[in-house]
Amino acid sequence: MPIETILILLPTSAVFICIIILVATKYRGFVEEDHLSEIKLVSPAFKLIKNVVKKSFLSSEVLLILLTIYILSLTVAYTSSFAFTSQIISTETHYNALIVGKHLVPPEVVDSITQRYILVYQIFKGIEINESTYYALIIKCNFNYINENNVDIRSEFYRYCDYLSQNYVIADDDSYVDNAILSNFLGMDIQLVKVDLSKLMSLELLPGVYFVHSIGTIGGLSLRIEDESKILLIPISINIEKKLCSEGCEVQTMVVGFDFIEKYKNEVNNVLDIFDYIAISTDGGLQILSRSLTPTPKTLMSIFLSFIISMIMIYAIGGGFIEKMLSMGRDLFILGATRKFFKSAVLLGTTITLFLMSLPLVSIAWMGLINSVAVLNYVISVIGFVVMTSYRLRSVAGEVLHPELIGSYSYVVSVFTSLDKLTSCLRGILSKDDFFAISEVEGIKEEKVQIIRIELIYKKALSTLASVEIYVDRINNNFRYTVFVDVWSMEDSTREFLSSIQRLALSKTVGGVISCIES
């Protein structure tokens, strides 16, 4: 990894770590001490997800797992390598290399790659002259040796290049354009020569790639301009591309090279940094190398090993994070939340946390300081983290958050509320409830404890009742309010249905008790 990259990565990582520490310091007391009773004040789902995100940022287990994934991702990026997409086709060639880019490449860049070539700019923006549309091929010929006995593409181009080197504009014999019309359009005096361009129209450099403009494909067949009278060959010295493309236009750059084949093989990396693909002549055909990169086996093995190590770390360390989430789940379950809601909120909150943690890595990769395979490795490891967390939550939550274990709730405060006031307040709150109707409310005073018994009828069933008992006793200088709920039904109801009614009644009663005490 270059020293410049390291110097940029270190400050970026330091700033990211400082931000995490500041956020952790700001919310430390709130997150560790804030229990889910406060969720009733806002949207439960939003509140829970926010708490999961905060606890994830503060969780030493999550930070250690993410640090491992970051280190492994950067290691994979450093050791990764790619091979260009390669394809070999059997065809007869009349050149040593064909280089194609779907944008305008300056001539000086082409000169740095090859010395003997034909450079062609296909300008797809038409030239409107006397209600006719012409298409320009801007050409530069940079070769001298011509072997007349060889079927070399240079032999076919020799006549064209000879005119173009003298700054002639070439049109077809059947073209209606003349010197005056073209000079008026270009705003300069030009010399026009007309020759037969029919051979040029059928010149196919690659299957489906022609010397003249291709205008689309139908059924896998490439369509090109068929009317040679609509083609103009213009020398590069006229700089017509600046006039035609002053407001932007589509241009394709084609370089037909005649240097030694080994030279082009050595320049593949440099060529594909600029162009889209290069076709190099081989024995009996062409090897086409494109900019689309494919990872080497070494890179794939690095990603695989990184994933395995990440999964081992997640399995070994993630148990602490799961336990922290389950401590929230116990409170949630008492307040009427279902296990599906709890698991969905935890997974969504964890995913948001992991996404936020990825921003520094994505930014560094976007700036080109590291290989983008680091982001791919991070995403794969994070998906594994989420899947494993989901599996462990599903297996553990079913045991820890079992419905039959949730039937009571204790609330300890320093404020005492009289039995009559609490009974009256609960009657007023529960009588307005949408789910339950009050059948009976009874207050009992005993020597060391006060008891409130409430019978609730579930409105959305025929014969389902919830028996609620509230015990108020003294513990040192505080008072403990303990709520027990038992549900029974004459209907053939499932255990899950009765459990949800039990939790709903418990949530309503606990909320009423807290409201009455604090009012």
Residues 73 and 61: their CA atoms lie apart, in Å, by 18
Fold of the domain built from segment(s) 405-518: Alpha-D-Glucose-1,6-Bisphosphate; Chain A, domain 4 (3.30.530)
Cα torsion at 399, 402, 406, 407 (round to 10°)? Answer: -130
Q: How far apart are CA 63 and CA 56, in angstroms?
A: 8
Please enumerate in sequence order all residues whose Cβ is within 8 A of that of 3, keeping only pairs 6 or more positions apart, or say none. none
Question: What is the model's pLDDT at position 398?
Answer: 52
Q: What is the largest CA-CA distance in the chain?
A: 122
Query: Residue 324 — φ and ψ, nearest 5°?
Result: -65, -40
- Looking at every residue in the chain, the average pLDDT score rounds to 76
Tokens of 183: 């000079």
Domain range list for the chain: 3-80+297-401, 86-294, 405-518
436 φ, ψ (degrees, to nearest 5)? -125, 150
pLDDT tops 80 at residue 372: no
- Neighbour-count burial for 501-513, b at 16+ CB within 10 Å, e otherwise: bbbbbbbbbbebb
Is the distance from CB of 483 to CB of 502 less than 8 angstroms? no
pLDDT digits (tens, 9 = 90+) for 167-217: 888 888 888 888 887 777 777 777 888 888 877 777 778 877 877 877 655
Answer whether residue 220 shows pLDDT above 70.
Answer: no
pLDDT-derived band at 35 (thresholds 50, 70, 90) equals very low
CB-neighbour burial class of residue 419 (10 A; exposed 0-12, middle 13-18, buried 19+): middle
Surface-to-core class of residue 24, CB atoms within 10 Å of its CB (0-12 exposed, 13-18 middle, 19+ buried): middle
Half-sphere exposure of 190 (CA within 13 A, CB side): 30
- The pLDDT confidence band at residue 337, using thresholds 50, 70 and 90, is low
* Pure H helices in 114-267: 153-165, 179-186, 198-201, 240-244, 261-266
Rounded to whole angstroms, how far apart are CA atoms 246 and 485? Answer: 79
The C-alpha angle with vertex 243 and arms to 127 and 253, in degrees rounded to 5, equals 80
**What is the C-alpha separation between 76 and 68, in angstroms, rounded?**
12
Higher pLDDT, 269 or 433: 433
Look-up: residue for tokens 């801007």?
138
* pLDDT reading at 505 higher than 60: yes
Instruction: Take residue 128 and report the two structure tokens written for it.
Output: 């409107």
Residue 33: which pLDDT band, with cuts at 50, 70 and 90? very low
Contact 140, 157 (CB under 8 A): no
pTM: 0.49
Tokens at 280, concatenated? 């190099």
User: What's the pLDDT at 404?
Assistant: 45
Question: What confidence tens digit (pLDDT) does each residue in 245-283 have?
Answer: 777 778 888 898 888 888 888 888 788 888 888 888 888
Per this entry, what is the length of the chain?
Answer: 519
Structure tokens at 68: 């491992």
Closest CA to 384 of 279, 280, 310: 310
